[in-house]
Structures are given as C-alpha cells and as structure tokens.
Amino acid sequence: MSKKEEFKNFVKDNPRLIKYVKNNEMTWQKFYEIYDLYGNDENAWKEFLTVDTVQTAAEATATTTAAADFMSWLKGIDLDSVREGVNSLQRVIGVMQDLGNNKTPKQEEYKPRPLYKHFED
C-alpha cells in the first residue's frame, strides 16, 4: 500500500483532522507532511487528536446559553399582538382575493342590425 493510501486510512480513522482543515487551521498538505515524517506516532499527532475538554465544555455552555436566551425570548412574545397581526393579515388577503375575483362583467358585443330588417320585423 502506498503512503498516500495509508494517509487516507489514517484520516478515516481520525476524523477530527477534518475539523482543522474546514476551519482553515491546517491544510491536507501539512497533515500529509507530518504523516510522511512521523507516521502514526502519537506524540506527533497529540496536538490534533486529543480531545480538548475545555473547548468541549465551552461549546456545551454556549449551546445551553443560546437555548436559554431563545426560551426567554419566546416567553417575552405577546401572543395577543401576534394574533392581531395574523388577523389583520388575513383581512388584507381576503380583500386582495375579493378584488381578484370581482371581474368586470363582459359587455355584449355590438351586432349591427341586418340591412334588410326594419324595426322588429
């Protein structure tokens, strides 16, 4: 198996490396160079493959805070004003539909009287 195929398998086994590339912190070329020099050596990959518990805890806290902010925003909504807004929107839509449905009646086309007929003959 070539070194390139070994690197691909290494990345498949360690999907955390993808996060560094997506965040533009590293490139696949740099990762490949590290792999080419050190192989699977844990000391070379320790920086990239260890789980940063502080970062994970911070992400969890941020998620919890965002959920709490959303819930407080949701509690602050005045349902009566929302209902009034929906009702007025329904009225506007109804008026627009009525305007679209009220077509002017067609006038009968003018038909000239035949030349040979006189008044109601």
Q: Is 106 part of a structural domain of the chain? A: no
Predicted pLDDT of residue 3: 86
Q: Is 7 part of a structural domain of the chain? A: yes
Q: Does the pLDDT at position 87 exceed 90? A: yes
Q: Is 95 part of a structural domain of the chain? A: no
Predicted pLDDT of residue 53: 46
Q: Is 67 part of a structural domain of the chain? A: no
Four-residue CA torsion sign, 77, 79, 81, 87: positive
Q: What is the pLDDT of residues 18-61, one digit of tens each?
A: 888 888 888 999 989 888 888 888 888 888 887 654 556 666 67
Q: What is the pLDDT of residues 91-110, one digit of tens each?
A: 999 998 888 876 666 677 88
Q: Is 65 part of a structural domain of the chain? A: no
Q: Is 62 part of a structural domain of the chain? A: no
Domain residue limits at 31:
3-50
Overall number of domains in the chain? 1
- Strand stretches in the chain, DSSP E: none
The whole-model pTM stands at 0.42
Q: Is 31 part of a structural domain of the chain? A: yes
Place of tokens 């009968």: 108
